């Protein structure tokens, strides 16, 4: 089995592919990030311009943080056909694979794409005999997926749960 590169995601789901992120993906990534914060933004009584400015600032902060602290990570765009539908960010370490981020556009959630992507990461980890670790907000729907796939919570870290998968 190949190690961490986009070829390992081939043939997971019909039409699904993963490719390296490019500079021209920026607009899509900003919209994708905004979609992950929609529920939270609906709760705020802010003008639309203020919400948009806040989302842009938060996107920039996350984008810069990932590249500064995970410079050797893989930043991939998930596509169905040639249409971007999500992102998956993964870092391979000696003792683990860190699933840094996985996000899908709202219309693509719940139809097996995320499950297929995470399972493939788990296959790679099993082959390498390392753990998969991630941070997730406790109210994120993905927590249910991670539990189904065998992840366990190691600890609460503020607004995140730190979870681990150790193999089958």
List domains and CATH numbers for the chain. 6-165 (3.40.630.30)
Say what angle helices 48-69 and 26-36 make with each other, to 10 degrees.
110
Computed over every residue of the chain, the mean pLDDT equals: 91
**82 CB-side CA count, 13 A:** 0
Asked if 20 contacts 6 with a C-beta cutoff of 8 angstroms, the reply is yes
Average pLDDT over residues 47-73: 95
Average pLDDT over residues 105-111: 90
Beta bridge partners of 97: 92, 132
Considering the entire predicted model, what is its pTM?
A: 0.91
| pLDDT tens per residue across span 58-70 | 999 999 999 999 9
66-100 per-residue burial string, b: 16 or more CB within 10 A, e: under 16: beeebeebbbbbbebeeebbbbbbbbbeeebbbbb
Average pLDDT over residues 142-161: 93
What per-residue confidence (pLDDT) applies to 13?
A: 75
């Amino acid at each position: 089995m190949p190690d961490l590169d986009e070829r390992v995601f081939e043939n997971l789901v019909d039409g699904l592919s993963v490719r390296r992120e490019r500079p021209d993906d920026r607009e899509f990534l900003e919209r994708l990030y905004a979609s992950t914060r929609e529920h939270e933004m609906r709760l705020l009584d802010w003008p639309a311009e203020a919400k948009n400015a806040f989302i842009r600032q938060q996107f920039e902060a996350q984008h810069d943080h990932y590249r500064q602290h995970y410079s050797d990570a893989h930043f991939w765009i998930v596509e169905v056909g040639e249409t971007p539908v999500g992102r998956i960010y993964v870092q391979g370490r000696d003792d683990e694979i860190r699933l840094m981020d996985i996000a899908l556009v709202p219309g693509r959630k719940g139809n097996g794409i995320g499950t297929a992507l995470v399972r493939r990461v788990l296959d790679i980890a099993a082959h390498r005999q390392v753990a998969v670790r991630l941070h997730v907000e406790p109210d994120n729907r993905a927590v249910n997926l991670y539990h189904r796939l065998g992840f366990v919570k190691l600890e609460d870290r503020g607004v995140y749960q730190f979870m681990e998968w150790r193999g089958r």
